[in-house]
Structure 1
């Protein structure tokens, strides 16, 4: 405990606050954007510029850290943008996002493109924003420059990305990237689907959801993940598997971890809450790659989380315009693949976790602390003295119905339309100041904050 003995900017009294992995009553004091003291509940005994007592039934939780967000600005800002994405984040209890190097134009594959991204984000960000770099055939051998410019790591695809300006790495390129990054302990984050498997299962598309799933079978993930594991073993590098869809890969990942290889993995709310059996034909709002699979697969992903094989949950917020998502007469082969879910991530996962008897404590571990630790974002994802005062007043038992037009996402298209979810955010504080939609977010870098 740190005694409360001076004036503070904010004091929050909570009957239930998530501290050191458990909920307990506490008074949180904030000074200069940082948690300065945590005390038992009761009057603080000092003045604060602002003093808040959470309503009955509300819990104080750390802000969610989402390390997998496609903001798409600049270049495809009609799909999403920093203003709309970060407003949506704050509304859903997310206080830090890390932006993917595509589908913006230019993609973040060199320091000049990173500067363009920062210039776009800086005047608009409602929450804190960091950036991933990209590893593509054309920038291998020069990744250190982008690393030194502050990206948190490097994303690559092992199969076509869907946009021409971000080509994928072949097996030799994957090995070269891992070897290069190992020289300075950089992190490679991998969209792991094998192109030869995808080619072998390619079909003519159409409105059938089962046929779409057949075109991207679990084998595509298995082969690609095995290639990543082999590459880590050969180079001594470290890698992370993005948006794990197929539970069939869990034994591979578990064995690699047991071997001591530096491999981590994530999954996403749509894989944990939706299933193929309930996706209608022609419902292209559900299209994503890799795809949402069957109910049994979904159950095994939850077991993978509980067993520690999967390390974290992030949104893979990948929006597009309604025309791109829905404008092809239900043809899964032609519609854009991506789920827009940033604002709903916490409520989605908590709703399903609660249904399974899994506590909010575990959810926050997977969605707040684990992503912050994974990306090395100091002071995020926890309520602790010295951490950023990124706090959320969350009512876990309050329900709401998803209405896409009411979300802050730029395009009102959602795979969760009509869902009845639990968990409502009443206030999100970024460094001790309640978010209002005004751009107060900072740009984060691997290392010091860039103002």
Structure 2
């Protein structure tokens, strides 16, 4: 099976109108004729999303791992049993590889307890935390250990970490890599916090050469600082002023620099939160020639449009910005044709004061959208209007980011994988209320939005996440 959740291969057989692989049929035969293994947990679902597609299954879980995936009717025995309701489907736990938890140091913005509760409420069972907005930033092993000490007792889902690449930090890349970070983030323009300075393209390339020797990857906030310096300055309540201050050209220039550096060094490179759909052509061309390049986008770029953002709605400010509706349509096409690999939240919260909710000033407000809990219902609501199936949406948010980040055992319902699941009712309708969300502050760009699809429970290594007792573990690059 590949990182996009493609077919595992093998012949297929049909049972009761549900297609299953030969390996699943063999599991059924073994369960019936070879004695009864008692699993710690058995989950029964009429519709479960496997790498091969939808199937009616029974899943056996022992010691937090999926040890059996059998067709419905296998009569797997378990000490505990979960049976999904008729309107629920079983999904792999989602993987969000772009989350700013901000803890320690700015825990008044967000913290591991609140962020991971929000993640679980949205069906996310694994997140990877960004190396900035926390104090100290994760640019050396000591800072990483400080962050791990804060996260370990508070995490309700599994948590991994990105390292940071900042001016003068080249010597810290190898130690952080050995300490288990999933890769390294850099900015090509001001990060928003002074303690995490941006790299010039030349230093980024030097760092990428170091990472290439270790088959690590550089993940890049790709907006060009010089292009932004030449753009108008944002001020006031009009969203158009902010949009003009972050032109598409800044992304195009920066992405070209990343491609050039990846081509010359052989390093794996990843473009974070792609906003400018006009860059898709150069991304596709680079990949076609063999440049090791992956790309993500975010729900806000796929469901919001600049024309629809009201004056003063600083909850919608993010960098790079939400662009026009035609750009949004082109990003969807980039997902469908495979140029964009995955969809992640870029959850970047702050206090209400920093978001300037009272003044509505786009020039001074913090740039970040809090959406960790809402990604799946937002994307599913928009996708179904476009005729896109739930299975594709989930793969963009599960096996896709797991493959990009290199997270093993996550993002797919397969034997040997972690028993991480989201139970989802795709037809249930509800309305987003900021006060009911689990992240720290009741701020959201989606207040009052009607959405379809509700996460009804989240299961982490066979245990339901209850939001009371932290069950998450800290994970490392394998």
Tell me if both proteins adopt one fold, taking TM over 0.5 as the criterion. yes
SS in structure 2 opposite 1:315? coil
SS in structure 1 opposite 2:73? coil
Question: Map of 1:48-59 to 2, 5 A cutoff?
Answer: 48-59=78-89
Q: Are the equivalent residues in 1 in contact too, given 2:42–2:76 (CA < 8 A)? A: no
Residue 63 of structure 2 corresponds to 32
Distance 1:8 1:225, change over 3 A: same
Residue 78 of structure 1 corresponds to 108
Residue 266 of structure 1 corresponds to 296
Structure 1: 5+ residue stretches without partners: none
Residue 269 of structure 2 corresponds to 239
Residue 440, structure 1, aligned to residue 471, structure 2: yes
Distance 1:392 1:412 in 2: 24
Distance 1:32 1:170, change over 3 A: same
Residue 162, structure 1, aligned to residue 198, structure 2: no
Distance 1:418 1:42 in 2: 42
Aligned counterpart in structure 2 of residue 332 of structure 1, from 353, 362, 370: 362
Residue 8, structure 1, aligned to residue 39, structure 2: yes
Shift of 1:326: 2.6
Shift of 1:43: 5.9
SS in structure 1 opposite 2:398? helix
- The one-character-per-residue Cα deviations of 1:128-151 (angstroms, maximum 9, x if unpaired) are 000000000121133101100010
Question: Map of 1:6-405 to 2, 5 A cutoff?
Answer: 6-42=37-73, 44-46=75-77, 48-327=78-357, 329-405=359-435
Q: Are the equivalent residues in 2 in contact too, given 1:96–1:127 (CA < 8 A)? A: yes
Runs of 4+ in 1 over 2 A off after TM superposition: 1-5
Distance 1:204 1:89, change over 3 A: closer
The TM-score, its normalising length taken from structure 1, stands at: 0.97
- The one-character-per-residue Cα deviations of 1:385-429 (angstroms, maximum 9, x if unpaired) are 111000111000101100000000100000011111111111111
Distance 1:408 1:45 in 2: 35
Distance 1:327 1:275 in 2: 20
Q: Are the equivalent residues in 1 in contact too, given 2:303–2:378 (CA < 8 A)? A: yes
Q: Are the equivalent residues in 2 in contact too, given 1:13–1:42 (CA < 8 A)? A: no
Distance 2:129 2:85 in 1: 33
- The one-character-per-residue Cα deviations of 1:338-392 (angstroms, maximum 9, x if unpaired) are 0000000111111111111000111111100011111111110010111100011
Deviates more, 1:1-10 or 1:113-122: 1-10
Q: Are the equivalent residues in 2 in contact too, given 1:347–1:424 (CA < 8 A)? A: yes
Residue 7 of structure 2 corresponds to none
Distance 2:363 2:296 in 1: 26
Shift of 1:233: 1.3
Q: Are the equivalent residues in 2 in contact too, given 1:131–1:445 (CA < 8 A)? A: yes
Q: Are the equivalent residues in 1 in contact too, given 2:234–2:362 (CA < 8 A)? A: no
Distance 2:356 2:444 in 1: 11
Distance 2:433 2:356 in 1: 17
- The one-character-per-residue Cα deviations of 1:267-299 (angstroms, maximum 9, x if unpaired) are 000000000011011110100000000000000
Distance 2:156 2:76 in 1: 32
What is the root-mean-square deviation of aligned Cα atoms in Å? 1.0
Q: Are the equivalent residues in 2 in contact too, given 1:328–1:334 (CA < 8 A)? A: no
Deviates more, 1:327-336 or 1:253-262: 327-336
Shift of 1:21: 3.5
- The one-character-per-residue Cα deviations of 1:76-112 (angstroms, maximum 9, x if unpaired) are 0011100000000111100000000011000000000
Q: Are the equivalent residues in 2 in contact too, given 1:325–1:335 (CA < 8 A)? A: yes
SS in structure 2 opposite 1:377? coil
Q: Are the equivalent residues in 2 in contact too, given 1:319–1:340 (CA < 8 A)? A: yes
Q: Are the equivalent residues in 2 in contact too, given 1:287–1:336 (CA < 8 A)? A: yes
Q: Are the equivalent residues in 2 in contact too, given 1:64–1:94 (CA < 8 A)? A: yes
Shift of 1:204: 4.6
Q: Are the equivalent residues in 2 in contact too, given 1:245–1:290 (CA < 8 A)? A: yes
Q: Are the equivalent residues in 2 in contact too, given 1:240–1:264 (CA < 8 A)? A: yes
Distance 1:197 1:328 in 2: 30
SS in structure 1 opposite 2:79? strand
Structure 2: 5+ residue stretches without partners: 1-23
Distance 1:204 1:270 in 2: 20
Distance 1:330 1:164, change over 3 A: same
Shift of 1:45: 4.9
The TM-score, its normalising length taken from structure 2, stands at: 0.92
SS in structure 1 opposite 2:168? helix
Distance 1:40 1:203 in 2: 59
